[in-house]
């Protein structure tokens, strides 16, 4: 039995139970000032909620309703984990709540082609929607995009993303389809790319010779390799990343220790450049770019590693060979213990 006075002042309600429509309506009527409502009530087929002027965040999780209506004119954050959510149904939901700033679509397996059109949208998360093939985004204020799934057709207009996270579900070698997807992201400031294995971010040589670097204006990259294994040939990995992102300012690579699950190593790079405006002839490495790539304007590098420095000599040789005007490489090992003197593992190579 529900006592309405017990719930009157609740601002957040979490439901993870099997109930019927009458119980839900009674509970909602008892919470007129609720602001957040995660909702996973198994057994419900019809969800109708009214008089929720203060509701700003709503989660509808892992149920298959046949009807969903909610009077929440100030809703700003919506999470939907609905296996039976269709394109048309999603369009109707978004039309009813024009103030939504954050949208999370998870395991919505009936979605195929969706359009996100909103001046208010700031954050979009799409995860494990296994039939999705196309996303059209018209959201000039969108700043954060998280995508987990198969490669899809991405259409976007005037995206100015600050942060993007991607994880390709079918993780295989980088091909033209994935490169096209990356290019459609339109140069976010920070890209976090999670992959199973290092070789999955390496484009074949023939593609590098015929396609343009897709994200030449991205400044920060975080690569996370989340399966145990060797980091691959470090110089080959760095070379591949600097083709995709030829003017990075910060590169951070984290990988799981070979044979040790949940033990991670990492290495970071900070790059500085001279004038990036191309002068004179157009070399092959820059032939598709509007500016010079790192090979012609990289001035200094700072490399920091968390554990053994087994890669340092290889990286030194690689950058000396390939960076035309490189002046300085600085290596350091991040201290394992707080009391360790950082200067003990610090080397500067002047060129």
pLDDT digits 0-9 by tens, 76-103: 999 999 899 999 999 999 999 999 999 9
pLDDT confidence bin for 182, thresholds 50/70/90: very high
* Least reliable range by pLDDT among 131-140, 189-198, 269-278: 269-278
pLDDT confidence bin for 337, thresholds 50/70/90: very low
Average pLDDT, the chain: 83
Contact (CB, 8 A) for 246 and 289? yes
CA distance 203 to 246: 14
Q: Provide φ and ψ at 45, rounded to 5°.
A: -115, -30
What's residue 333's pLDDT? 81
Q: Which has the higher per-residue pLDDT, 19 or 152?
A: 152
pLDDT confidence bin for 318, thresholds 50/70/90: very high
Return the C-alpha torsion angle 81, 84, 89, 90, nearest 10.
30
Q: Which has the higher per-residue pLDDT, 287 or 301?
A: 301
Query: Is the pLDDT score of 344 beyond 90?
Result: no
User: Taking the model in full, what pTM does it have?
Assistant: 0.85
* Least reliable range by pLDDT among 22-31, 77-86, 125-134, 317-326: 22-31
Alpha carbon 130 to chain centroid, angstroms:
18
For the record, the structure tokens of 48 come out as 């109708």
What's residue 232's pLDDT? 63
Digit-coded pLDDT (tens) for 259-299: 666 677 889 999 999 987 666 667 788 888 888 899 999 99
Query: Is the pLDDT score of 3 beyond 50?
Result: no
Q: Report angle CA 254, 326, 236 to the nearest 5 degrees.
A: 40
Name residue 222's beta-bridge partners: 192, 252
Kindly give, in sequence order, each residue whose CB lies less than 8 Å from that of residue 86, ignoring residues fewer than 6 positions away: 110, 111
What's residue 218's pLDDT? 96
* Least reliable range by pLDDT among 7-16, 153-162, 228-237, 238-247: 7-16
Contact (CB, 8 A) for 109 and 89? no
pLDDT confidence bin for 339, thresholds 50/70/90: very low
């Amino acid at each position: 039995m529900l006592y309405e006075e017990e719930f009157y002042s609740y601002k957040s309600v979490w439901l993870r139970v099997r109930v019927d429509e009458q119980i839900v309506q009674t509970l909602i009527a008892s919470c007129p000032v609720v602001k957040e409502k995660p909702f996973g009530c198994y057994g419900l087929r019809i969800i109708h909620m009214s008089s929720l002027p203060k509701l700003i965040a709503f989660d509808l999780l892992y149920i298959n309703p046949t009807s969903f209506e909610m009077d929440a004119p100030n809703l700003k954050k919506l999470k939907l984990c609905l296996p039976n959510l269709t394109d048309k149904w999603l369009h109707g939901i978004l039309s009813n709540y024009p103030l939504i700033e954050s949208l999370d679509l998870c395991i919505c397996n009936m979605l195929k082609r969706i359009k996100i059109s909103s001046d208010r949208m700031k954050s979009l998360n799409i995860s494990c929607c296994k039939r999705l093939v196309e996303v059209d985004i018209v959201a000039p204020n969108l700043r954060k995009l998280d995508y987990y799934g198969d490669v899809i057709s991405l259409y976007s207009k005037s995206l100015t993303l600050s942060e993007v996270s991607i994880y390709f579900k079918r993780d295989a070698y980088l091909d033209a389809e994935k490169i096209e997807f990356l290019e459609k992201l339109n140069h976010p400031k920070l890209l976090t790319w999670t992959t199973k294995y290092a070789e999955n971010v390496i484009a074949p040589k023939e593609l590098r010779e015929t396609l343009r670097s897709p994200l030449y204006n991205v400044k920060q990259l975080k690569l996370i390799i989340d399966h145990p294994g060797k980091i691959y040939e470090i110089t080959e990995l760095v070379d591949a990343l600097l083709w995709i992102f030829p003017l990075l300012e910060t590169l951070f690579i984290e990988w799981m220790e070979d044979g040790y699950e949940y033990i991670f190593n990492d290495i970071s790079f900070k790059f500085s450049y001279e004038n990036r405006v191309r002068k004179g002839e157009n070399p092959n490495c820059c032939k598709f770019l509007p500016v010079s790539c790192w090979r012609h304007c990289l001035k200094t590098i700072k490399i920091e590693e968390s554990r053994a420095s087994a890669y340092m000599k290889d990286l030194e040789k690689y950058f000396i060979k390939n960076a035309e005007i490189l002046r300085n490489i600085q290596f350091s090992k991040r201290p394992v213990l707080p009391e360790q003197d950082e200067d003990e593992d610090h080397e500067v190579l002047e060129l």
